[in-house]
Amino acid sequence: MHAEVKKHGLSGVIKIGTFFEGIGVLSRKVIDISFVSQLFSQSTRLMWEKSKPVFEGARKQYDQPKWAECFEYLYNEMQKREQRLQQIQQ
């Protein structure tokens, strides 16, 4: 069992994933990514990096390759945005 599941329990990991999945869906269709990034960039990065192995394992174990897909999208888009901002500042 992954350390995050042991620490927070499976229901805790699912709650976290569901929250960020919803934010990811909104950032694709409704809310500008820069606004979402200002609100959630640190927590998205921290939570995805800690829970990524859990979600990837669950995708394989339960044959659900799209599980937490929008959470991962949100993380990737925020990483791209951060890289662009760093390049502009240099």
Per-residue pLDDT of 24-73, as tens digits, reads: 888 887 888 888 888 998 999 999 998 898 888 888 888 989 989 999 99
> How much is the pLDDT for 2?
60
3 phi/psi in degrees, rounded to 5? -60, -35
Task: Give the C-alpha separation, 63 to 25, whole Å.
Answer: 21
Sign of the C-alpha dihedral, residues 20, 65, 29, 85?
A: positive
Per-residue pLDDT at 75 exceeds 60: yes
Whole-prediction pTM = 0.82
8 A C-beta contact, residue 21 and residue 70: yes
